[in-house]
Amino acid sequence: MATTTDVRHFLEITDLSQAELETVLERAATYKRAQERGEDHADLAGQTLGMIFQKPSTRTRVSFETGMTQLGGHAVFLGEDDIQLGRGEPLKDTSRTLSRYVDAVMARVFKHENIEVFAEYASVPVVNGLTDDAHPCQTLADLLTIREQEGGFEGVSAAWVGDGNNVAQSFVLGCALAGIDLTVATPEGYGVDDAVLERARELGGDPTVTSDPVDAVSGVDVIYTDVWISMGQEDERDVRMDAFEGFQVCSSLLEHAPEASVMHCLPAHRGEEITDNVVESEHSVVFDQAENRLHAQKALLSWLLE
């Protein structure tokens, strides 16, 4: 667990142990049931979350802000141009100042090292809302969704198809923590970082790596994909579109996993990494997955701040 003066941070999914992961997921399920029943769960009444955004967002902003409201607290949006960070203030100064005002900070930034520096100087919990290397909050929602769909993690198999990006890297580590049998199918040169695969193995996982999407998805319970062109990679579009030919999650690919749930962290580029008819099919759980960002993050925040 990453700590600063005994403060718990959540910068990567591996900042949770297996037992802590189960605790957070069970709490998320409890919050979800409470919301469905219309029950009050204002466990963070009077507390404030500062939200720093260098990258734009739909799901991250709305789920954190709504989550804090439902927990009885308050969230403050801080765009890069709204605070001195966008005018050259050192991260460590922003971190120490915000720590005097708010009870926790969520930051969505480009460089992973920036959120590590922010956490180093913070005296309140810091949550990684996304960096170029990791998206652990998404993984919490992913695992909550799989837990709901499969009734747990025992015996569950999953396939990642597409780019070995930040979402993929966190998912690889999350599957290792949860005990999910994972196969990763990426084109040559676009795979998950070797260091991430090694960390997954150290956690007890054994991710299989292939360049064959059909082989990856055959008989699995879950198929997961994400965009081929992430923010900041727009100038690589033509090269990437050529490289990812054959990696689209489409009806013909699903024939090899007829019972599989299909996941996507959204936003989806329909017609590229996934077809419109698959997103709209009975296989798709992408909107359950999106909703679960709310419940998983509420659970995470209440756990970090208890």
Binding residue numbers: 57-60, 84, 108, 135-138, 166, 226, 230-231, 265-266, 293
Quickly list H helices, 87-165.
91-99, 112-121, 136-150
Residues flagged as binding site for carbamoyl phosphate = 57-60, 84, 108, 135-138, 265-266, 293
Determine whether 242 is an active site residue.
no
Task: Determine contact, residues 64/49, Cβ cutoff 8 Å.
Answer: yes
Residues flagged as binding site for L-ornithine = 166, 226, 230-231
Per the residue annotation, which of 43, 147, 265, 283 is the catalytic one? 265
Determine whether 108 is an active site residue.
yes
Per the residue annotation, which of 8, 9, 27, 108 is the catalytic one? 108
Task: Determine contact, residues 258/299, Cβ cutoff 8 Å.
Answer: no
Determine whether 175 is an active site residue.
no
DSSP string covering 188-248: TT-PPPHHHHHHHHHTT---EEES-HHHHHTT-SEEEE--SS-TT-GGGHHHHHHHTTT--
Determine whether 289 is an active site residue.
no
Per the residue annotation, which of 135, 240, 264, 283 is the catalytic one? 135
Determine whether 37 is an active site residue.
no
Per the residue annotation, which of 9, 264, 293, 295 is the catalytic one? 293
Per the residue annotation, which of 43, 103, 163, 226 is the catalytic one? 226
Residue 71 vs residues 44, 124, 172, 292, 305: alpha-carbon distances, Å: 5, 18, 30, 15, 12
Determine whether 293 is an active site residue.
yes
Question: Quick one: which of 245, 237, 172 has its CA closest to 211?
Answer: 245
Return d(Cα 209, Cα 215) in angstroms, integer: 10
Which residues are identified as catalytic?
108, 135, 138, 226, 265, 293
